[in-house]
């Protein structure tokens, strides 16, 4: 297991969050450290799976698709983890999380329309043993979508 992120690590992540294409040299200049320090820390954080640098889809640009939130209730609480892991294997799901509250699991995907959502849920989620029921909703207008949602707090 890797070490926890220190203050400098968190500052580097904060600089990368709005645009991961920013150069190590620019980050180093802004933080008052060497470019090698930034490069080494980014490499370590990636190797230890503390960060992942990736492209993020801008959902505002999809005119023919909607973001679908699929809330899943399981039959028994001891099945939650296994069902969540099974859902995480479904390639179309971009997010799967175990939740506290009314539902046990939340899964998020993109769909073309309500018919597409219904087919997807019935063929990919309801068929998993232990799924008691699902409830779905579609996101229609997004007033704020912060791509840095996963930034480190603290």
Confidence (pLDDT) at 153 = 44
The strands making up 95-98's β-sheet, listed across from edge to edge, are: 95-98, 105-111, 66-74, 131-139
Token readout for 128 is: 């998993």
What is the mean predicted confidence (pLDDT) over 102-117?
93
Task: Given CATH 3.40.1520.20, say whether it is the number of domain 7-47.
Answer: no
Q: In this model, does residue 126 exceed pLDDT 60?
A: yes
- Where does CATH 3.30.70.920 sit in the chain? 59-139
Rounded to two decimals, the pTM is 0.68
Give the CATH number of domain 59-139: 3.30.70.920
């Amino acid at each position: 297991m890797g070490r926890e992120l220190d203050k400098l690590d968190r500052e580097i992540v904060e600089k990368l969050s709005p645009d991961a294409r920013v150069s190590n040299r620019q980050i180093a200049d802004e933080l008052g450290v060497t470019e090698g320090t930034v490069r080494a820390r980014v490499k370590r954080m990636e190797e230890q799976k503390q960060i992942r640098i990736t492209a993020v889809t801008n959902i505002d640009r999809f005119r023919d698709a909607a973001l679908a939130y699929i809330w899943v209730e399981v039959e028994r609480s001891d099945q939650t983890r296994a069902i969540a892991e099974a859902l995480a294997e479904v390639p179309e799901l971009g997010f799967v999380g175990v939740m506290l509250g009314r539902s046990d699991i939340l899964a998020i995907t993109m769909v073309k329309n309500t018919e597409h959502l219904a087919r997807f849920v019935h063929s990919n989620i309801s068929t998993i043993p232990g799924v008691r029921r699902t409830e779905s909703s579609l996101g229609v207008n997004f007033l704020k979508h912060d791509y840095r949602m996963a930034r480190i707090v603290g």
